[in-house]
A = this chain, B = another copy of it.
Amino acid sequence: MICQIDGGVCAAKGFTAAGVHCGIRKNKAKRDLALIVSEVPASAAAVYTANLVKGAPIAVTKAHLQNGRAQAVICNSGNANTCNADGVEVAEAMCDLTAKALGIPADDVVVASTGVIGQPLDIAPIAAGIAPLKAALSREGSRAAAEGIMTTDTALKEIAVEFTVGGIACRIGGIAKGSGMIHPNLATMLVFITTDAAIAPAMLEKALKTDVANTFNMVSVDGDTSTNDMVTVLANGLAGNAEITEEGADFAAFMEALNTVTVYLCRAIAGDGEGATKLLECTVTGAADEATAKVVAKSVICSSLLKAAMFGADANWGRVLCAIGYSGAAVDVTKIDVTFTSAAGEIAVCAMGAGIDFSEEKAKEILSEKEIGIRIELHSGGAAAVAWGCDLTYDYVRINGDYRT
């Protein structure tokens, strides 16, 4: 049984967190530096952006996690520390400062940055901010840390759940920032997950990579892959379960809890995409294989035309079929059924690849809700996939078309 609880990244035993304003951002009301610390060294794993242009913090974190261990996460917003000549040096300095303050090795620190790219990141405000940040560390610090990593996210993203591994109660929680932009820049997805479950680094990495393929890799706000995306998980083992070292019931229990956290955060990120007014969840069933289901779901969720139609609460199912058709997946278009769903009900709009009579009034009612489901049945097998996205709105254009200068 998985139960939602409070506490975010501090829900698990032995984790504290904090977020402060150190001065990277001009607005003093906005926290711009966050810290998450485990009492003891933790198993650690991460996945990173596939973009060839990578932020300097990615390179440093990758090096630090080679040994599968970490004890702290330091993250700033306001500057992505990407495409800067001294980027790696600055990211390492962030780790050194954090390590020194906490009395831990620098290579046990995970570092991340989000914000404008191509502008040097001044280490001075961070150096000055580390002491107050450490002083602010607390078991109630998750929200402050979540605020510290936000850019133009309109909602704080935090979740925690309790689950059991071998009869022992464990907790896992996470914070995330999504596709908000600072003035200006790249949308970046950062996710930090903490758990007190005991799990070997190799199994933690396996769990994260397996899960991400079905969760964060199935989220799209605008099809642009950021240079700084990172999802990390720290597992400090303080729950006291027998360490998970192989697949089996314990690993499955852990995977299920992890998935609860990540799906929640995926939905939160997609629903709070830049300018979004609606969360879109596309569920593909009846696919010949999982790869096909994923390709179809992502193609639909990425279609600018469909996204704009959803903004307009327009049951334009032709755009769903169109996006399936150009997805690259080998599907039989004459077998496709499409149904729109929401809290207001559901309505079938296309059967066997052709339009069917439906009430435009009812469709509009359904599509006027905040969370829209797009269900696609391919009638070609047993595989399924889910992808998350959001509508395309005037505000997306406003946010991203604003002058930087």
Contacts and interface: CB of A to CB of B under 8 A. Distances in A.
Interface of A: 49-54, 82-85, 116-119, 184-187, 222-227, 302-305, 308-309, 311-319, 321-326, 330-331, 333, 350, 353-355, 360, 364, 391-394, 396-405
A118 B318 contact: yes
B325 A402 contact: no
A400 B308 contact: yes
B226 A322 contact: yes
Contact of A312 (B225, B302, B311, B400): B400
Contacts of A394: 394, 397-398
Given A52-B331, A223-B223, A322-B227, A309 B400 contact: yes
Contacts of A396: 304, 308, 397
B83 A314 contact: no
Contacts of A330: 52
B324 A52 contact: yes
Contacts of A187: 305
Nearest to A302: B223
A354 B118 contact: yes
A48 to B, nearest CB: 12
A404 B227 contact: no
B324 A401 contact: no
Nearest to A120: B355
Contacts of A325: 51-54, 225, 227
Nearest to A367: B403
Contact of A401 (B53, B224, B314): B314
30 contacts: A50-B326, A51-B325, A53-B325, A53-B333, A83-B321, A83-B350, A117-B321, A117-B322, A118-B350, A118-B354, A184-B309, A185-B316, A186-B318, A187-B305, A222-B304, A222-B305, A223-B302, A223-B304, A224-B319, A224-B326, A227-B322, A304-B396, A308-B397, A308-B401, A311-B401, A312-B400, A314-B405, A315-B404, A360-B405, A397-B397
Contacts of A308: 396-397, 399-401
Minimum-distance CB pairs A-B, first 3: A53-B325, A308-B400, A312-B401
- Most B CB within 10 A of own CB, among A227, A303, A321: A321
A227 B327 CA distance: 12
Contacts of A350: 83, 118
Contacts of A50: 326
A331 B314 CA distance: 41
Nearest to A393: B397
Contacts of A399: 308
Contacts of A185: 316, 318-319
Nearest to A84: B354
B118 A322 contact: no
B392 A401 contact: yes
A225 B50 CA distance: 25
A396 B309 CA distance: 11
Nearest to A315: B404
A186 B227 contact: no
Nearest to A317: B118
Given A52-B324, A118-B321, A222-B304, 6 more contacts: A118-B354, A187-B305, A223-B303, A224-B323, A225-B325, A312-B400
A111 B402 CA distance: 44
Nearest to A312: B401
